[in-house]
Amino acid sequence: MTVDQNKPISIDSTISLKGIVKAIFKDTMHVQIGGKIITMPINDDKVLKGK
């Protein structure tokens, strides 16, 4: 992982993570990042449509 010196990471920064979607439910999705499975809320149906 590298950090762009022009845009240092700080509170409320946006980051990108790659993971494998393991399950999708009505209001949550479970994503595996590294060896951990993280539950993420789905606030917007556009998330599932890639918009």
| Total of domains in the chain | 1
Per-residue pLDDT of the chain (51 residues; tens, 9 = 90+): 555 566 677 888 888 888 999 999 988 999 999 999 999 888 766 666 665
Domain residues for the domain of 28 are 20-44
Would you state the pLDDT for residue 33? 92
pLDDT at 2: 56
- Asked whether residue 8 is assigned to any structural domain, the reply reads no
Domain-embedded: residue 49: no
pLDDT computed for residue 45 by the predictor: 61
Residue 48 gets the label, from left (phi > 0), alpha (psi -120 to 50) or beta, of: alpha
